Copies of this chain bind each other. A is one copy, B any other.
Amino acid sequence: MNLKGRHLIDPGDFSLLELESIFRLAEKIIENKDEYSQICKEKILGTLFYEPSTRTRLSFEAAMLRMGGKVLGFSDANVSSAAKGENIADTIRVLSAYADVVVIRHPKEGAPRLASKYSNIPVINGGDGGHQHPTQTLTDLLTIKKLKGSISGNTVGFCGDLKFGRTVHSLIKTLSRYPDNKFILVSPEELRLPDHLRHMLKNIAQVEIIETEDLETVIGSLDILYMTRIQKERFFNEADYVRLKDSYILTRNKLSEAKEDMLVMHPLPRVNEISYDVDEDDRAAYFKQAEFGVYARMALIAAQLGVGNNA
């Protein structure tokens, strides 16, 4: 499996075997951190964040620094040449002279894909509008693999805003490529999964899905519960927001009906969709998930740079 020089714009860019090779490398790194602590010693990660995202940016920076690499970039488009009207094709060609691999976060869908066409170095999509966020998906899959043992054969519940959440869309699409997963989709009517995804799941991937408005009636059957935030800015009016925002809050009480080994996942940051008393429950996996995010990104970067195979 050779991912050297490859871009990652969409999780579909990588085959299941290629994804598997990244997870295997991540697991090797987790088990033997010291061996990998200098594999990127003379490599530079460029971080082009055209919209702010501290969480994603710091996870990438930690990943690169933990491998002995270095980081340069910007975290705010206002401080960039973009403010002078430069297009992303020029920016990436120049950045190719400064760095060895680059992550791009951009408010416009397709910007990282466009950049990859002009880049001499591997491009990672760090999130483009409501479109894709593939390293969050790598993070989620690695978390499932490490904590459930397998990415296949799970009954996975998704709860909250299933209409706008790119994290959910990307994970559902990728999980549907693995065998024997079932999906239970829990959302208010107004925030159901988009039709094109439902159609893809039913007709193309032929995956079993159940849709419901009620978390409590289904929580007992789940192996994994993936919670998401209902963002205020997604609503057209304040009344809808107030009515719905608390409908899908996970509490310790609701959790009492869940399996003993169910995982509670969340891409973070959370606002109030998971009560703080859930944090102490062994099933709460969201902080471990953030940790696995660093390892997933380490493995990805190492694979793209073609380092660490023999470590």
Annotate A279-311 by CB proximity to B: 1 below 8 A, 0 otherwise.
000000001001101100000000000000000
Q: Which residues of B contact A44 (CB under 8 A)?
A: 62, 65-66
> Is A149 close to B, CB under 8 A?
no
Q: Which residues of B contact A42 (CB under 8 A)?
A: 37, 66, 68
> Is A259 close to B, CB under 8 A?
no
Contact B94 A290 (CB under 8 A): yes
Contact B72 A74 (CB under 8 A): no
Q: Which residues of B contact A97 (CB under 8 A)?
A: 62, 287, 290-291, 293-294
Contact B62 A81 (CB under 8 A): no
CB of A102 to closest CB in B, whole Å:
11
Chain B residue with minimal CB distance to A270?
A: B90
Q: Which residue numbers of A lie inside 8 Å of B, CB to CB?
A: 37, 42, 44, 46, 52, 54-55, 58-59, 61-62, 65-66, 68, 70-76, 78-81, 83-86, 89-91, 93-95, 97-99, 268-271, 276, 287, 290-291, 293-294
Chain B residue with minimal CB distance to A63?
A: B98
Q: What are 24 inter-chain pairs, A to B, with CB distance below 8 A?
A: A37-B42, A42-B66, A44-B66, A52-B79, A52-B80, A52-B83, A54-B74, A54-B80, A54-B81, A55-B81, A58-B72, A58-B74, A59-B98, A62-B99, A71-B72, A76-B79, A81-B268, A85-B269, A86-B270, A90-B270, A93-B287, A94-B287, A94-B290, A97-B293
Known: A44-B66, A62-B99, A98-B62. A90 touches B269 (CB 8 A): yes
Chain B residue with minimal CB distance to A56?
A: B81
Chain B residue with minimal CB distance to A33?
A: B42
Contact A84 B271 (CB under 8 A): yes
Q: Which residues of B contact A83 (CB under 8 A)?
A: 52
Q: How often does this chain occur in the complex, in copies?
A: 3
Contact A65 B72 (CB under 8 A): yes
Chain B residue with minimal CB distance to A294?
A: B97
CB of A28 to closest CB in B, whole Å:
18
Q: Which residues of B contact A79 (CB under 8 A)?
A: 52, 54, 75-76
Q: Which residues of B contact A76 (CB under 8 A)?
A: 79
* Across the A-B interface, the 6 shortest Cβ-Cβ residue pairs: A86-B269, A62-B98, A97-B291, A61-B72, A54-B80, A52-B79
Q: Which residues of B contact A68 (CB under 8 A)?
A: 42
Question: Other CB < 8 Å A-B pairs besides A54-B74, A61-B72, A84-B269, 5 of them?
Answer: A42-B68, A58-B73, A62-B98, A90-B268, A97-B290
Known: A86-B271, A269-B85. A58 touches B95 (CB 8 A): yes
Q: In the complex, A294 Cα to B46 Cα: how many Å? A: 15
Q: In the complex, A187 Cα to B270 Cα: how many Å? A: 47
Q: In the complex, A93 Cα to B271 Cα: how many Å? A: 15
Q: Which residues of B contact A86 (CB under 8 A)?
A: 268-271
Chain B residue with minimal CB distance to A79?
A: B52
Q: Which residues of B contact A98 (CB under 8 A)?
A: 58-59, 61-62, 294
